């Protein structure tokens, strides 16, 4: 049977108007965004398949988006109640009706969940008009970078194979929310109204900031945040725990999604942010880490004939906007032959 957390994740997709719009009216840009969201995660691939199957079963000529969300919320209430009943309740329906079961019985539980999800329905309605209906999506292909100016004047540099989503307009009293898949460098503008700026990297982890410069890399089941200046607060909130970690300049925080582990250490920010100046710096960087960069950012398949080489540590730098020069620089630093054929790189 599907876990409750999976049901929640599917519900979140089905409540997202950008997802509904993609299923109904797919385009190259929308496909790129949701492919990046899925990444190589088997779980996200399954969630997309299940959510798309539900959407495709809906007659959009007869059912509005708001009606869809209402129906989905009602279904989620029913599923949640059924799960709680199986776990916690034994109700003799032949002798007790919902009206006589008392506040701790079915009626009380129904009212509790109904109140919660009616609230969610109202919130989703607000989000429909303020975020999803008016969302802006920026996407880069492999090896491409892009400079983005956000509605508040903040600047973002988006690395290759990445997507960034935000509302087209932010009101003066509105939290500045952005959603990132991939890697980006943020230069956040501090506003007189002290509006929060929040980067959502996963469903249970976000970066909260007032005004600062930092890099977020959300790939391969791990999110890395490197702070160049200012202060940020990392918020970890999921079903099992809530954790908050404040960062200072020169620190990197790593969050492992599956293990839900958040750690922090001191680093040289330039090593992790040099890509925005079209350079990659290697400072005691393993070939295994570089292999991940080549695959996730440039879309290459990297084959290393001797796996022991993956542990080798490298120093130096190479241009990041020319893959041929990048591989030449890597070959020089590594001292091993590197060849490329199509999208496949072989290191001997």
How confident is the model over 290-343, as pLDDT tens digits?
Answer: 999 999 999 999 999 988 899 999 998 889 999 999 999 888 888 889 999 998
- How far is residue 253's CA from residue 242's CA, in Å, rounded to a whole number? 16
DSSP code at position 189: P
Provide the phi-psi class of 277: left if phi over 0, else alpha when psi is between -120 and 50, else beta.
alpha
pLDDT tens digit string along 222-246?
899 999 999 899 988 765 667 788 8
DSSP code at position 275: G
Burial of 90 (0-12, 13-18, 19+ CB in 10 A): exposed
185: Cβ–Cβ under 8 A, 6 or more apart, which residues? 156, 157, 159, 213, 214, 215, 273, 275, 276
Q: And the tokens for 239? A: 């079903």
Mean pLDDT value of segment 203-225: 87
Cβ-based neighbour number of residue 335 at 10 Å? 9
Domain ranges of the chain: 4-132, 135-268, 278-347
For domain 135-268, the CATH class is: mainly beta
pTM listed for this prediction: 0.62
Mean pLDDT value of segment 28-52: 80
Under the banding of pLDDT at 50, 70 and 90, the label for residue 78 is: low
Span of 20-24, 119-123, 197-201, 320-324 with lowest mean pLDDT: 119-123
pLDDT beyond 80 at 160: yes
Write down the pLDDT at residue 1: 38
CATH number for domain 278-347, candidates 3.60.15.10, 1.10.340.30, 3.55.50.30, 1.20.120.1200: 3.55.50.30
Under the banding of pLDDT at 50, 70 and 90, the label for residue 197 is: very high
pLDDT beyond 80 at 254: yes
Write down the pLDDT at residue 22: 83
Q: And the tokens for 194? A: 């002290």
- How far is residue 325's CA from residue 345's CA, in Å, rounded to a whole number? 13
pLDDT beyond 70 at 15: no
Under the banding of pLDDT at 50, 70 and 90, the label for residue 183 is: very high
Q: How much is the mean pLDDT over the chain? A: 77
pLDDT tens digit string along 103-129?
444 444 444 444 444 444 444 444 444
């Amino acid at each position: 049977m599907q876990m409750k957390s999976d049901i929640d994740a599917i519900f979140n997709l089905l409540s997202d108007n950008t997802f509904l719009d993609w299923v109904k009216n797919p385009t190259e840009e929308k496909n790129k965004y949701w492919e990046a969201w899925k990444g190589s995660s088997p779980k996200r691939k399954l969630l997309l398949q299940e959510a798309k199957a539900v959407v495709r079963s809906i007659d959009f000529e007869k059912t509005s988006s708001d009606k869809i969300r209402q129906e989905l919320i009602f279904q989620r209430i029913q599923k949640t109640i059924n799960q709680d009943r199986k776990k916690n309740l034994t109700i003799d329906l032949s002798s007790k009706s919902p009206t006589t079961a008392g506040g701790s019985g079915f009626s009380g539980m129904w009212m509790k969940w109904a109140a919660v999800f009616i609230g969610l329905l109202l919130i989703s309605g607000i989000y429909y008009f303020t975020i999803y209906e008016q969302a802006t999506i920026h996407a880069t292909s492999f090896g491409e970078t892009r400079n983005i100016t956000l509605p508040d004047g903040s600047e973002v540099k988006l690395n290759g194979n990445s997507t960034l989503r935000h509302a087209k307009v932010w009101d003066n009293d509105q939290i500045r929310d952005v959603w990132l898949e991939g890697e980006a460098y943020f230069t956040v503008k501090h506003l007189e109204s002290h509006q929060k700026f929040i980067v959502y990297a996963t469903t249970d982890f976000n970066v909260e900031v007032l005004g600062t410069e930092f890099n977020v890399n959300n790939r391969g089941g791990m999110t890395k945040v490197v702070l160049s200046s200012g202060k940020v607060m990392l918020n970890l909130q999921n079903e099992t725990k809530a954790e908050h970690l404040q960062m200072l300049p020169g620190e990197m925080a790593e969050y492992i999604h599956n293990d839900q582990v958040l750690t922090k250490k001191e680093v040289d920010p330039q090593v992790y942010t040099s890509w925005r100046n079209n350079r990659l710096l290697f400072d005691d960087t393993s070939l295994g880490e570089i292999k991940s960069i080549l695959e996730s950012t440039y879309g290459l398949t990297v084959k290393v004939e001797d796996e022991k080489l993956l542990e080798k540590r490298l120093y130096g730098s190479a241009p990041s906007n020319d893959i041929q020069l990048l591989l030449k620089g890597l070959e020089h630093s590594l001292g091993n032959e590197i060849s490329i054929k199509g999208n496949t790189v072989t290191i001997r």
